[in-house]
Amino acid sequence: MTQMITEDARDDLLSRGYSRRSLGRIVTVFGLGAAAAATFGRPAWASGGIPDPAPNAKVRIGANECWTGPLAPGQAAAAAIIASGNRYAPHDERGDFIKAVMQVEGVPYDHVAPWPGSSDPLSRSVVTFCSPTRGLVTANPTFELAGRTAEWLGAPVKAVPLKADYSHDVKAMLAADPNAGLYYICTPNNPTGTITPIADIEWLVANKPAGSMVLVDEAYTHFAGVPTASYMAAAGKDVVVMRTFSKIFGMAGMRMGYVMARPDIITRMMRYDGGMQSGALPLPSLACATASLTAADLIAARRKEMQDARGMTLEHLKKRGLTVHPTDANMFMIDWKTKAAKDMQIAFRSQSVEIGRSWPIWPTVSRVTVGSMDDMTAFCAALDKVWV
Ligand SMILES: Cc1ncc(COP(=O)(O)O)c(C=O)c1O
């Protein structure tokens, strides 16, 4: 299997301390082997042979997806390009997408790489910047993919608790491993929906060890409408800023995302598959993403729709005396205190409402995604049945 990575990539990995044995594992990180699904658990987009209860539920607020499909201009652009699908690139659709990113983010053309979602660049960042001698520093709780990839590859992992306000504790993260290869910041954080101030990220970038990278995962940024770290990528810092269209843009099944970073960093990340993942993107996904990214008014309207549904729900939960952690994004954490989150998920399932899971650090806390106003009204009604 290891012949599937390029010779240059193999030499790079061996020189950084990976063993020949771990090369096979690295191949699985890039989705080229079945072991990845078995190892990383069941991602939202793969059933892994286990029946997924979500598609049968009337209300699906468990996987942080958007409650509705792509923005109207995106849908129109995707539909229009299908007729030209005989060409690999009828025009320069990849280039058009990058130009849309430049326009919105203010980063140069060569600082942008499209990718099919952000799971691949996330795992790939661990391969690129971590090794058996340079570990990963992540938060607890946070999105686990980076940590699981590092464990799978045998790179040391430090998971640092969030601060009392649920932001990343950047000083403790640096202290946890002052020589890490990668520091992973998810803002807004999944599962808490909380922001880490941009000044804290700047501090980490300024104080981290030489040769390491800060990965800023901004999957939920449009739901919060907060400043992005993209200017640090444009300024050539050791930063990779990662975006996905799976959230506010309603394109989880269409697989689109991008990273913003210095060109030499992008080249390093691409070397393992010769640029294949970034270079060969489906035309409807590219066209949809390009038309969606610049639709600022529609993005703001969707954010407002989420905020209204979230506000209504949090009000209801407050009235019911439940404890909810603060949030800035399309998810919130309910602490049931006396009941296991697992049991509450099953109770909601009996009402045809699929809520999210818990994280090991907080076994009585469930993550709930904010859906449409109708979804959240149904959630509140189900809550009143299962929480008496
Ligand atoms: C924080 C975060 N990053 C990355 C991803 C990966 O999403 P995708 O591969 O669909 O872009 C997710 C998915 O839920 C996420 O929550």
In angstroms, what is the span from residue 226 Cα to ligand 1's centroid? 18
> Please, what sign has the CA dihedral across residues 348, 353, 359, 364?
negative
In angstroms, what is the span from residue 352 Cα to ligand 1's centroid? 25
Query: Does ligand 1 lie within 6 Å of residue 256's CB atom?
Result: no
Query: Does ligand 1 lie within 6 Å of residue 138's CB atom?
Result: no
Q: Which atom of ligand 1 is nearest to the CA of 220?
A: 1
In angstroms, what is the span from residue 251 Cα to ligand 1's centroid? 11
Among 38, 37, 32, 35, which residue's Cα sits nearest to residue 9?
A: 32
* Cα distance between residue 349 and residue 286, in whole Å: 35
Domains observed in the chain: 54-67+297-386 (3.90.1150.10), 72-293 (3.40.640.10)
Query: Does ligand 1 lie within 6 Å of residue 186's CB atom?
Result: yes
Q: What are the pLDDT tens digits along the chain (388 aa)? A: 455 677 788 888 888 888 887 887 787 777 643 344 444 444 444 444 556 777 789 999 999 999 999 999 999 999 999 999 999 999 999 999 999 999 999 999 999 999 999 999 999 999 999 999 999 999 999 999 999 999 999 999 999 999 999 999 999 999 999 999 999 999 999 999 999 999 999 999 999 999 999 999 999 999 999 999 999 999 999 999 999 999 999 999 999 999 999 999 999 999 988 888 899 999 999 999 999 999 999 999 999 999 999 999 999 999 999 999 999 999 999 999 999 999 999 999 999 999 999 999 999 999 999 999 999 999 999 999 999 8
Query: Does ligand 1 lie within 6 Å of residue 142's CB atom?
Result: no
Residue closest by Cα to atom 2 of ligand 1: 219
* Cα distance between residue 271 and residue 57, in whole Å: 41
* Cα distance between residue 129 and residue 131, in whole Å: 7
Q: What is the pTM for the complete model shown?
A: 0.93
Strands 213-217 and 239-244: parallel
Q: Which residue has the tokens 């997806």?
A: 65
Query: Does ligand 1 lie within 6 Å of residue 62's CB atom?
Result: no
Distance, CA of 192 to chain centre: 13
